[in-house]
Structure 1
Amino acid sequence: MIPHVQAQLLAGKKGLIVGIANDQSIAWGCARAFRALGAELAVTYLNDRARPHVEPLARELAAPIVMPLDVAVPGQMEAVFDRIEKDWGKIDFLVHSIAYAPKDTLQGRVVDVPRDGFLTTMEISCWSFIRMAHLAEPLMKNGGTLFTMTYYGSQMVVKNYNVMGVAKAALESAVRYLAAELGPKGIRVHAISPGPLATRAASGIPQFDELLNKAQQTAPARSLVSIDDVGMATAFLAHDAARLITGETLYIDGGYHIID
């Protein structure tokens, strides 16, 4: 659960949360944390099938902007940012918490990945963040923070993570380049790397329960991370106190990534 927060440390900040699918989503943990700290939120849902699951959560957040966003549909990203510009005139932070690989592409060997599956994986999991950064830049008139979600499988070979590890490695590299390019405008960019979480997205990874058990038994904290742990750490980085932290991959995994 989000701890009780007295100070509205992000009051006056406005941000976009992309990737809420249900109340188990990492994006939901981030949204709850940002809202608890006083930020105003815009929320997107993937499609009409997802809408009934996301709209009640958006109401809980008192989100004034709730829109569809499938990054594979031309024009939908632009429509979201156009609405933000029209209603708010600015944006202070963005949380990009989406990734996708076709099932046959994800579950096969990297060496066998088909071209179309690879391109789809990279477009949705990596390029969409770059594009959102491009659209957010002119709205971050007084600086801001861009976040995306990654995983340890970008740096080490994790069984069954396969082509998603390749996509996340590209995403982390993009974070560094974006941080360098946008830093002079006061825009910070981070990759957030949680330990394994039982989200809907993770359900597509074979033998995921084994990965959870290994993480809990091996991590120095001997504990699995929660979506609220991820949310509060992410929200901290959006605060002005973190203004000189950028280009980082922040591990929120109980220390799992330091263990051989």
Structure 2
Amino acid sequence: MTPLVDLKGKRGLVIGIANEHSIAAGCAEAFARCGARLAATYLNDKAKDWVQPVVDQLGIEWTAPCDVRIPGELEALFAQVQERWGGLDFLLHSIAFAPKEDLHGRVVDSSAQGFSIAMDVSCHSFLRMAKLAEPLMATGGCLLCVTFYGSERVVEHYNLMGPVKAALESATRYVAAELGAKAIRAHAISPGPIATRAASGIDRFDELLDRAAAQVPAGKLVDVSDVGALAAFLVSDAAKGITGTVIPVDNGQHLFA
């Protein structure tokens, strides 16, 4: 297939591949197709079995475990980037988590511990990655994360993840402002609803998919390849003048309340 943009020579770290249907996998496929060198993470040994087929198919150079809840594991990952590559050109953060009992309940009923876990894994980990990536991006780079329109308005059953994604989007703007002088850009990609394993944790997500499909002007939802195409553009030199944005890729769903 024809490359979307030229990423030859660029080194990218993809965090959050769960299986071949995940958003991170769609982005990794686009990065690889455009010529980027890639590394990827897996949550733990059990999850590695689901990630490995994606790694093999795309020719990802190396993998490492990354559970941001385990002290030192994220730092060890970036130490490997330094040791293996000596630098980094782009990074994709595509992880989110909230305890089920907090995710499936009202926001006002969420526990302090559950809220803290959700914010730490889904938002603060992006700030940690930005800090660790900064010294590796000596000539500039791009940091991407994944959000959802439930950050801007109430989406039934999205619950706790709404405030958490709102925080992630705000964090992205601050990252872009603080690291911009070093030519490091930051963006939050906001896909429409996609049937991924992560999304299946949201109560009655199939109903959300049906409502979204009926609402979009195109009459169909986006898939992970659409997200990957946008991600590849954003990390390319073609987008070097763009930073600090929250960009929807949803076939126009954001046009409607």
Q: Which amino acid aligns with 2:121?
A: I
Q: Which amino acid aligns with 1:148?
A: C
Q: Describe the shift of the 1:143–1:211 C-alpha distance in structure 2 as closer, same or farther (beyond 3 A).
A: same
C-alpha deviation, 1:56, in angstroms: 2.2
1:186 counterpart residue number:
183
Aligned partner (choices 23, 28, 31) of residue 26 of structure 1: 23
Question: How far apart are the structure 2 equivalents of 1:236 and 1:34?
Answer: 9
2:135 counterpart residue number:
138
Question: How far apart are the structure 2 equivalents of 1:152 and 1:245?
Answer: 21
Aligned partner (choices 198, 202, 214) of residue 199 of structure 2: 202
CA contact (8 A) 2:152 2:166 kept: yes
| Deviates most, 53-62 or 192-201 | 53-62
Aligned partner (choices 194, 199, 208) of residue 211 of structure 1: 208
Q: Which amino acid aligns with 2:139?
A: N
2:234 counterpart residue number:
237
Question: How far apart are the structure 2 equivalents of 1:249 and 1:17?
Answer: 19
2:245 counterpart residue number:
248
CA deviation map 1:172-197 (0-9, x unaligned): 00000000000110000000000000
1:71 aligns with 2:77: no
SS, match of residue 91 in structure 1: coil
Identity %: 55
SS, match of residue 189 in structure 2: strand
Q: Which amino acid aligns with 2:146?
A: M
2:51 counterpart residue number:
54
SS, match of residue 244 in structure 1: coil
SS, match of residue 63 in structure 2: strand
1:115 counterpart residue number:
112
1:38 aligns with 2:39: no
Aligned partner (choices 167, 173, 176) of residue 170 of structure 1: 167
SS, match of residue 94 in structure 1: strand
Q: Within 5 Å, which residues of 2 pair with 1:88-107?
A: 88-107=85-104
C-alpha deviation, 1:242, in angstroms: 0.6
Question: How far apart are the structure 1 equivalents of 2:242 and 2:188?
Answer: 12
SS, match of residue 188 in structure 1: strand
Q: Which amino acid aligns with 1:191?
A: A
1:82 aligns with 2:79: yes
C-alpha deviation, 1:73, in angstroms: 0.5
1:161 aligns with 2:161: no
SS, match of residue 46 in structure 2: coil
Structure 2 length-normalised TM: 0.98
CA contact (8 A) 2:5 2:232 kept: no
Question: How far apart are the structure 1 equivalents of 2:243 and 2:4?
Answer: 24
Consecutive unaligned residues of structure 2, counting only runs of 5 or more, are: none
1:124 aligns with 2:121: yes
Q: Which amino acid aligns with 1:133?
A: A
Where has structure 1 moved over 6 Å in runs of 4 or more? none
Question: How far apart are the structure 2 equivalents of 1:149 and 1:142?
Answer: 24
Let me know the Cα RMSD of the aligned residues. Answer: 0.9
Question: How far apart are the structure 1 equivalents of 2:68 and 2:23?
Answer: 18
SS, match of residue 49 in structure 1: helix
SS, match of residue 66 in structure 1: strand
CA contact (8 A) 1:8 1:36 kept: no
SS, match of residue 71 in structure 1: coil
CA deviation map 1:103-142 (0-9, x unaligned): 0010111111111000000000000000000000000011
| Deviates most, 59-68 or 70-79 | 59-68
Structure 1 length-normalised TM: 0.97
Q: Which amino acid aligns with 1:107?
A: H
CA contact (8 A) 1:41 1:65 kept: yes
